[in-house]
Amino acid sequence: MKELFDEAKKNYLDFLGEIERITEDQFKSLSENKLFEKENDLEKELLEKYLKFKRCLSEYKTTIEKYWDYKKEEFSPFNILINKKFKK
């Protein structure tokens, strides 16, 4: 059971990492090609939203890690036995 939770956590974090990488690559490409000048209000807003998205994604990844670790612990054989014993 532990391996199942570890694999789910890894797959989810890999997926989020890929989203993060794609977003960073696109933003970097815009910046390097001078398509993004930070003078325009819309471009300033885009930069602000990108930085906010990057921070939120990082926080979300941290929360996901904690969630899968919690689930792994909750469904450990020891905790399942303890829960069954005290629910009677």
pLDDT tens digits, 10-26: 998 999 999 999 999 98
Domain count, the chain: 1
Long-range contacts of residues 8-11, Cβ cutoff 8 Å, at least 24 apart: 8/68, 9/64, 9/65, 9/68, 9/69, 9/72
Q: pLDDT digits over 35-62, tens only?
A: 666 677 887 888 888 889 999 999 999 9
Query: For residue 18, what pLDDT is reported?
Result: 95
With a CB cutoff of 8 Å and minimum separation 6, the contacts of 17 are 61
Tell me the C-alpha distance between 15 and 35, whole Å. 28
- pLDDT of 4 > 60? The answer is yes
Contacts of 83 (CB under 8 A, 6+ apart): none
Residue 8: which domain range? Answer: 2-87
